[in-house]
Each structure stands twice: as C-alpha cells, then as structure tokens.
Amino acid sequence: MKVLPEKTVKRLSEYRRTMLRCFDEGKTHIYSHELAALHNVTAVQVRRDIMFIGYSSQSRIGYDIKDLTKAIGKIIDPKEVMNLAVVGYGNLGKALSAYLMNKRPMLKLVAAFDIDPKKIGSLNSGIPCYSIERLREIIASQNITMAILSVPSSAAREMARALVASGIKGILNFTTVNINVPADIALEESDIISSIEKLAYFVKRTR
Amino acid sequence: MKVLPEKTVKRLSEYRRTMLRCFDEGKTHIYSHELAALHNVTAVQVRRDIMFIGYSSQSRIGYDIKDLTKAIGKIIDPKEVMNLAVVGYGNLGKALSAYLMNKRPMLKLVAAFDIDPKKIGSLNSGIPCYSIERLREIIASQNITMAILSVPSSAAREMARALVASGIKGILNFTTVNINVPADIALEESDIISSIEKLAYFVKRTR
DNA sequence: TAGATTGTTAATCGATTAACAATC
DNA sequence: TAGATTGTTAATCGATTAACAATC
C-alpha cells in the first residue's frame, strides 16, 4: 500500500480515538458528518481519509465503529509492539508518560531517563527511571525504537544525537529547540512556544 | 497587511527563537541557508517566509539578527500584553507554565486553575492557582484572553465550553479529545497520542 | 569581476473541496 | 420511490520548490 499523507494518518488516529469513546457510550455506527463535526473537518474529508485506507462500509447507515476502528488499526498500527522511552523525567516527562500509559496496546512505554539521581530507580508511574548514562545500554537491551524528548531545551540537541547514536528510529521532540536528525529517522516536533505565538497571532486577527 | 499562512507564522516564531539564541552566542548575522539547516527546511522557504512580512535585508552578508527578530516581532507579536491562564494544574499544566514563564514578553501567564483544593492558592512557579469555580470571575478581572487546556481529557469538552462562555478568545488544547469552538475563537490542538501514532507509522515505513 | 546571496516569479506538488454517480 | 449517505473524479486552493534576475 502507498504511504498515507501525514495529515491523514493524524486524522485517522483521532477518528479512531473518538470512535472508541463513542463505542463505550453505546454507539455502534457513526456517519461521516458526525465524525467530521467532532473533529472540525468536513464530511468529505472524513470519507476521503477513509478511502485512503481502502475501507468501504457498504451501507448507508454510517460506518460500523468496531469494523472501521479495526481497519484503521490494521493500517496505522505497528505489526508488533513498539517500545518507547521518555527522555527527561521532569513534570513534562511524567505528564507525557501518564498520557501514554496503557492507551495504545501496540505502543509500550518501558523506560524513563533522567540525570537527577533522586529520580533514578523510582517507579513513578509504573516504569523504571534510569540514569541517562545507561541510555545506549537500555535502548539496546529493551529494544526501544522511539523516544519522547522532554529534557530542558539546552540539552535537546546533544540528547537527540545520543538517541540517534543509540539506534532510536523515531523522536517526538517536546523541547523548544528544533533538532536535526538523519533522513531515515522519523521526527515529530511539538513546540509549545511557537504554538502559543501562532495562537496569539490568530487571536489578534479575529478581533 | 494580509493574514499570513499558519505555517509561516509558526516558522517565523521558530526562526526568531533560534536567532535570539544565536545572538546570545555572539552571532550578529545569519544566512538563509543557516536558518534553513537549523529548522529542517529549505533556504528558499526561509526567504519566502521573510518576504511575507515585507522584510528585506539589503545585504549579501546574511540577515541582521537584531533587525530581523524585531521585524518578526512587529508582525506576529500582539500590540499589547496578552494575559494567559493554564487550566488544569497537574504535571502537564505545571510543565507548560514553566515553559512559558518569562519567555515571551508580550505573553504573560497570570493564573492557573484546578479543582484540587490542595493546589489552590499555591504559587507553584510564580503564578497563583485558583479554584475552577472562579474561572469566569478571574478571567474577567485579570483580562485573560487565551487559555492552555491541560485538564484530564474527560473534562476537556465541558471546560472548553466554560472558557468560551467566560470570554476566552484562544485555546491551546493539550487534552486528547478534540474540542469544538465557535468560529471566532482561535484553536490550536496538540494531541500527544496522535503525534505518537503518526510517528510510529512513519518509523514503520522507513524500515 | 566572480561568486555568493537575496528576492521574486512561475511551475509544481500536495491537500482540500465541489460535484455528482452509486447505493441503500 | 425519495431521501440520505457513501465513494470517487475533477477542480480548486494553498504551500513548496525551481529557476533566475538583482545585488553586493
């Protein structure tokens, strides 16, 4: 199958999460326009995204939630469990860990890293925290493929290099410094400061 | 001036931050290809973004950092100080507060809100924490225009409604639930779970 | 000057939307 | 059937890149 557009992948992930919530609330089917309204997109957008994964509902009573969530998983979920680490175990690292804990069955958070000796060893939210010196060792032994970078921004670049050197294949960067990685490493930036500044710009504009 | 593309606004914010860092390190000028390399974009992209704000360097020795950062500020910064609140003062809320504290002079974090009585009143990182019941009152009295939403996802929709009802003009949503707001409210979503799932998808692909 | 860089137009690429056929 | 919905092509819109003129 052809590689999906980045934005489609993101939306499919969101559709699935929304549908799982609706399913818990007793809903079994959902119309494209319902999904659309819940995500601030158009119904055509939803149908197009679903078309991308080759799914077809064969009914006019909306999409079968159970069926469609499974179809999305087949496309966007990894085939085997992927292990993650959170690097930098401060407030942000802990918050991100909590978000990730047991949310997605195929994505497993297995380790945290920090330089603060007080944090090392602690099982704060169910995962062990290691010294950053053991980064390479633990990444290899635990077969960790993705990392969430939540260290202080001043350490971001150096840490990113260390992660790449340790064999990490994907980095989610939560620092406020843009990092560079080789082309074969997946990178996702989440920059709070620029998000806020962008928001401020568009608030201003709408007045 | 015409409204800038969203992505351009975001990149301009990032360019500025990078340039300020470079300036602190003693650099006074920077080439478009240098800025480009630091942000994983092309030099043409950088020049085009700068063109959007009507800035021109009039030299072939790179952009004058002091001058260009000022020009970017003139376009993307609010004309007067904007007050922000963080709603939900757990690990994530505290981490986001720390990120924002004294980083941007025109964006001032002035209040936190939480339901936990233990947190209320505390000046954790220099800002007071109020009971969520006082949301409307404090937003009005402190003239708060933007909110960072970092409550548990189950409370996200209700809290978003309360914020809009209180007169908030922009929301940065850090919960894992998409929220709906009227068209005149600016909204920026930062969804950790879908970011991770997207990352996993593209890690898979590059193998 | 020659070489490097900026600024800008035109072309390309990718993502969204409009229009509508097919289906229940 | 009539009405509502899905699936899909074609058109549009927006963002990026290629090409190159202008400048130091």
Best mutation target, B173, B202, B207, to test chain A (most A CBs within 10 A):
B202
Burial per residue of B98-119, b for 16 or more beta-carbon CB atoms within 10 angstroms, e otherwise: bbbeeebeebbbbbbbbeeeeb
Q: Residues A66, A16: one domain?
A: yes
Nearest nucleotide by C1' from A57 CA? D6
Q: Residues B18, B59: one domain?
A: yes
Q: Is residue A119 part of a domain?
A: yes
Q: Residues B101, B151: one domain?
A: yes
Better pLDDT: B136 or A205: B136
A78 contacts on B by Cβ (under 8 Å): 200, 203-204
Q: Is residue A199 part of a domain?
A: no
Q: Is residue B186 part of a domain?
A: yes
Average pLDDT score over residue span B153-157: 95
- How far does the CA of residue A204 sit from the closest CA of chain B (Å)? 7
- So what's the pLDDT on residue A207? 46
Residue with tokens 């004294």: B102
Domain closes at, from B25, B55, B74: B74
Q: Which two three-digit tokens encode residue A196?
A: 């806020």
B38 contacts on A by Cβ (under 8 Å): 178, 180
Q: Residues B63, B93: one domain?
A: no
pLDDT at B122 over 80: no
Alpha carbon A75 to its chain's center: 15
Distances (CA, A) of B148 to A151, B95, B144, B168: 21, 12, 11, 11
Averaged pLDDT of chain A: 94
Residue B206 confidence class, pLDDT cut points 50, 70, 90: low
Distance from residue A5's CA to nucleotide C14's C1', rounded to whole Å: 9
Share of chain A above pLDDT 90, in %: 88
Asked if the Cβ of residue A25 lies within 7 A of any atom of strand C, the reply is: no
Q: Residues B117, B174: one domain?
A: yes
Tell me the pLDDT tens digit for each residue of B37-81. 999 999 999 999 999 999 998 788 999 999 999 999 999 999 999
Average pLDDT score over residue span A15-40: 96
The angle that helices B91-100 and A192-205 make with each other, rounded to 10 degrees, is: 70
Distances (CA, A) of B22 to A105, A128, A177, B19, B83: 42, 37, 12, 5, 28
Footprint of strand D on the protein (CB under 7 A): A 31-33, 43-44, 47-48, 50-51, 55-60, 62-63; B 5-8, 41-42, 44-45, 48, 58-60
Q: Residues A87, A32: one domain?
A: no
Q: Please name the residues in contact with A72: beta carbons below 8 A apart, sequence gap of 6 or more.
A: A12, A13, A15, A16, A53, A55
Averaged pLDDT of chain B: 94
Q: Residues B189, B90: one domain?
A: yes
- Residue type at B141? S
Tell me the pLDDT tens digit for each residue of B3-42. 899 999 999 999 999 999 999 999 999 999 999 999 999 9
Average pLDDT score over residue span B96-109: 91
Q: Residues B21, B91: one domain?
A: no
Q: Is residue B204 part of a domain?
A: no
Q: Residues B160, B184: one domain?
A: yes
- So what's the pLDDT on residue B123? 75
Tell me the CATH number at A23. Answer: 1.10.10.10
Q: Is residue B1 part of a domain?
A: no
Share of chain B above pLDDT 70, in %: 98
Better pLDDT: A123 or B88: B88
CA distance B162 to A50: 33
Residue with tokens 């052809």: A2
- So what's the pLDDT on residue B9? 97
Residue B205 confidence class, pLDDT cut points 50, 70, 90: low
Q: Is residue A201 part of a domain?
A: no
Strand ranges of the sheet holding B82-87, from the earlier edge strand across to the other edge = B129-131, B107-114, B82-87, B144-149, B170-173, B186-189
Note whether B95 contacts A100, CB cutoff 8 Å: no
Nearest nucleotide by C1' from B42 CA? D17
Cβ pair B178, A39 in contact under 8 A: yes
Helix, strand, coil shares, percent, chain B, to 5: 45, 15, 35
- So what's the pLDDT on residue B195? 96
- So what's the pLDDT on residue A58? 79
- So what's the pLDDT on residue B93? 95
Average pLDDT score over residue span B161-189: 95
The domain total for chain A is: 2
CA distance A195 to B10: 7
Residue A102 confidence class, pLDDT cut points 50, 70, 90: confident
- So what's the pLDDT on residue B94? 94
**Burial of residue B153, with CB atoms counted within 10 A of its CB: 0-12 exposed, 13-18 middle, 19 or more buried:** middle
Note whether A203 contacts B103, CB cutoff 8 Å: no
pLDDT at A144 over 70: yes
Domain ranges, residue B190: 82-194
Among the listed ranges A61-65, A84-88, A124-128, B106-110, which one has the minimum average pLDDT value?
A124-128
Tell me the CATH number at A171. Answer: 3.40.50.720
Q: Is residue B200 part of a domain?
A: no
The H or E element spanning position A86 is strand A82-87
Q: Residues B89, B183: one domain?
A: yes
Burial per residue of A88-108, b for 16 or more beta-carbon CB atoms within 10 angstroms, e otherwise: bbbbbbbbbbbbbeeebeebb
Domain closes at, from B25, B47, B74: B74
- So what's the pLDDT on residue B140? 98
Residue B165 confidence class, pLDDT cut points 50, 70, 90: very high
Q: Residues B89, B163: one domain?
A: yes
CA distance A164 to A149: 12
pLDDT at B156 over 80: yes
Average pLDDT score over residue span A52-76: 93
3-state secondary structure of A12: helix
Q: Is residue A51 part of a domain?
A: yes
Pairing of strands B29-30, B63-64: antiparallel
Q: Residues A21, A63: one domain?
A: yes
pTM for this structure? 0.94
Average pLDDT score over residue span B104-122: 93
pLDDT at B1 over 70: no
The angle that helices A43-52 and A32-39 make with each other, rounded to 10 degrees, is: 110
- So what's the pLDDT on residue A205? 66
Domain closes at, from B16, B51, B74: B74
A145 contacts on B by Cβ (under 8 Å): 203
